[in-house]
């Protein structure tokens, strides 16, 4: 069965500092991986996605993520965080052809200090 783990429940960074949010997955084949962001009281917005090819993918708002098959990880990074980046971030895998549904991690709350 597919699963996603986000080890960090809450991350606080200072504005202008770099950011890395961790995501580990369990999947039976080559995974389809996604990072979404959610502002309070809103739906989720896609930040970036990985299907195949280059393991470093670029997304919106200056975010990037690196797929590491050997570590079953897909960590989200940003070189310099802005106050507007504060949000809930979700990593997701799938859907698999058999399951027909994606699996989301429990999310990481990102707080940005001025």
Partner 1 sequence: DGGITQSPKYLFRKEGQNVTLSCEQNLNHDAMYWYRQDPGQGLRLIYYSQIVNDFQKGDIAEGYSVSREKKESFPLTVTSAQKNPTAFYLCASSMADSNQPQHFGDGTRLSIL
Give the footprint of partner 1 on this chain (CB under 8 A). 32, 34, 36, 41-46, 49, 51, 90, 92, 94-97, 100-102, 104-107
Q: How far is the CB of 57 from partner 1 (least distance, A)?
A: 12
Question: Is the CB of 15 or the CB of 104 nearer to partner 1?
Answer: 104
> Measured between alpha carbons, how far is 51 from 32 in angstroms, rounded to an integer?
5
Looking at the Cβ atoms of 73 and 102, the one nearer to partner 1 is 102
Sign of CA dihedral 42, 84, 32, 50: positive
- Let me know: does 92 contact 4? Beta carbons within 8 Å: yes
| Helical residues (DSSP H) of the chain, grouped into ranges | none
Q: Rounded to the nearest whole angstrom, what is the least distance from the CB of residue 55 to partner 1 in the complex?
A: 16
Nearer to partner 1, 82 or 101 (CB): 101
Q: How far is the CB of 75 from partner 1 (least distance, A)?
A: 18
Residue position matching structure tokens 């280059």: 54
Among residues 39 and 71, whose Cβ is nearest to partner 1?
39
| CA–CA separation, 36 and 2 (whole Å) | 18
């Amino acid at each position: 069965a597919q699963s996603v783990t986000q080890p960090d429940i809450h991350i606080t960074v200072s504005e202008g500092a770099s950011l890395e949010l961790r995501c580990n997955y369990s999947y039976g084949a080559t995974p389809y991986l996604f990072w979404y962001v959610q502002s309070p009281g809103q739906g989720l917005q896609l930040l970036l996605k990985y299907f195949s090819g280059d393991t470093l993918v670029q997304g919106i708002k200056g975010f990037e993520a690196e797929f590491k098959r050997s570590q079953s990880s897909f960590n989200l990074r940003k070189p310099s965080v802005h106050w507007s980046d504060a949000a809930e971030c979700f990593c997701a895998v799938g859907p698999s052809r058999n399951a027909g549904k994606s699996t989301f991690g429990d999310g990481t709350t990102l707080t940005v200090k001025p």
